[in-house]
Structure formats: structure tokens, C-alpha cells
Amino acid sequence: MTLLERTLRRIEPQSREHRRQAEERILDLTMPRWALGRVLDLAVDLAGMTRSLAPAVKQKNIVLMAGDHGIIEEGVSEQPQAVTLQMVYNFIGRGAGINVLARNAGANVTVVDMGINHSVQDLADAGKIIDKKIAYGTKNFAKGPAMTRDQAVAAIEAGIEVAYNLSPCTDIFGTGEMGICNTSPSSAIIAVFTGVEDVAELVDRGAGLPAAKLPHKAAVIRKAIEINRPDPNDGIDVLAKVGGFEIGGLAGLILGAAALKKPVVVDGFISTAGALIAAALCPDAKEYMIAAHGSMEKGHRPMLELLGKKPLLDLDLRLGEGTGAALAMNIVDAAAAVMTEMATFSQAGVTVTGIKEKEND
């Protein structure tokens, strides 16, 4: 049995019993019924995921998967591919947006080479990144599959291995990514899973593509889907035909977190493409996903709808890197704290009837 098969077998739905117990406790806390709204919904989710009324969320790790894309040959990005490597050095130098927001959230940032089109063995040897390189970037999926099926499985299993290896020092995972052109495979993935006829509805500017070039980007993605004909009922086929190595790594990370019964905060557009692949392979994995925010990329909302997720934040973000996940982790902290630290009516000596009367007023 492969690592992927073993992992899929380990994934179970949230504990309904722990969800019930969490709801009972929350209803006994000193506030009107469900007065903190979705923060309390999140607290119940955390209890169901972790099988605990005191869910551990202190040890946070945002795993940033990096990879390059052959589709850059089609002129779908204004940024040169070298930016992927340059940003990886920025991440390990702790100067990027994700580093700032992760520090603020008390989270670690772990960088993984899934397919950077450059050797970074020196960084891996120095322990600054994790080496899971599948290849030096994907192939141009406007001309054929982005990768082989074996490579797609290898990418997913690499993400699973990262989750398992980080598990002893991680209570909650966050997803991040870096890869010039990776909005193109992400747009293709959501187009395949939704069956949308007009791909232009799902294609946006990514890393600053001028609006005038959006029709070309949409045409390239439409052509790529027609050439490759990925099977929407086969997540591995979708990843292999139109995906990216870092997207596969993200899918594996999410599956690994779900198998470990640990929450994973899913960032924006590209991260959610990975979440879609994970959900296609195991629908129960969705129960361990927390949607961090609603991205400005217009294809992100259909992704969240397909997953049945409502984002915690709506701040017009479009940076990626895991920045939205870092911001959302503050809300996760709050949800866990409310459930574990807030006094009950009996502890505080508060009359329940009085609270109910205020609620009715």
C-alpha cells in the first residue's frame, strides 16, 4: 500500500461527540446565546477536528511550497520566472510579507522546494528549506500534461511526508506558496472541477498582469484544458494535466494534516487549488480545512463554494505566500481561548435568566 493510500484510509470525519460537547460548553458560557457567532462555530470545528475541548493551537507552522511552471512560455505572467527563486531567498531572510505576519501570529514559516527551476541544494543542506523537488518546474501544459501521473502522486506524497515530519512540533498548519505563473494552473483546476464554459470568468491578474492581457491568459488556459482533457472525477489526473508541483504538495500537506486530525488554515487562490485536489481524493479532508480569507482573484469564490467553505476574513488580499493564513490564525487563537478561558454562568455567578432576557430585548 502506498503512502497516499495509507493516508487516505486514516482520514475520518470530525468527532460528532466532541462537537456536541463543545456546543454544550459554549451555551453555558457567560454571554447571550452564540453571541460571538462564527468565532464559536470555529471553536466547535476545532473541538471536532482535534477531539478535545481544549484544542491545541499554540504551535503554528505555515508551510510554504515553492515551484515553477512551464506555462510561463505562453506569456501569461509579467514577472520573470527568476522571481520564484528570489522570493525564496527573501523568505529565508525573513523579509517577506509572510514572515512579518507569521511573526505577528506566533507562527513558524517552513519553506519547501517542490519544483523550483534552479538548484537550491545549498539551502537544503544548510537546513534552511526542505528539499522535495520533483523536477525543475512543470512542463508547459498548453502543449501537453504539466507532469506525469507518477510525478503528481510523488508531489502529493511529498506534502504528506512534510506534514508527518512536522507533526511533533505543529498543532495547526497553514498553507503558503510561491511560484510565478501559479494562478494559471489554479484557474485551470477550478475550471475543470466546475465545468465552467467561459474560463475568463475564473481568470485574474495574478502577480500584476495588465487587464489587457487577461483575454490571452484565459485563451491559453482554455486551450490547455481542451488539449489535456483532465478528468474532473480524478484529482490526480487534474493535477497531472494542468497543475503544479507546489499545488500537489499543498494537497498532500492538507491530507496529512487531516490524517493527523490537525487543523489546516488554507490561504488564498493557489492554496485552495491544492485544497480542491485534496478534497477530490478524500472528501472528509474538507472537515479539517479552515478557509482563511476570500482572495481578490475572482476564481477563488467558486473554489470556496465548491468546498462548502466560508472565509474567516474578507480583506481584499491577493499576495499569497500564506499571508491570509497567518492573519486568520489570530482568529483561530481567539476561538480556542473563548472556549477554554471564558467563565461559565455558575463560575461567574451570573443569572442565566437575566442573560436570556437581554437577548430577547
Task: Report CA Rg, the chain.
Answer: 21
- Residues 6 or more apart in contact with residue 37 via CB below 8 angstroms: none
> In whole angstroms, what is the distance from residue 123 CA to residue 129 CA?
6
CB 172 within 8 A of CB 198: no
| Cell numbers 454571554: residue | 31
DSSP assignment letter at 29: B
How many Cβ atoms are within 10 Å of 330's Cβ, its own excluded? 15
Alpha carbon separation from 245 to 150, 155, 240 (Å, rounded): 12, 6, 9
Report the SS3 class of residue 170: coil
Angle (deg, nearest 10), helices 235-242 and 214-228 = 130
What span, in angstroms and rounded, lies between the C-alpha atoms of 185 and 71? 8
**Given the residues 74, 287, 297, 321, the one annotated as active site:** 321
For CA atoms 305, 334, 263, 344, give the dihedral sign.
Answer: negative
Alpha-carbon distance 46 to 53, whole Å?
8
Active site residue 321: yes
Nearest of 189, 199, 191 to residue 243 by alpha carbon: 189
297 neighbors 204 (Cβ within 8 angstroms): yes
Catalytic residues: 321
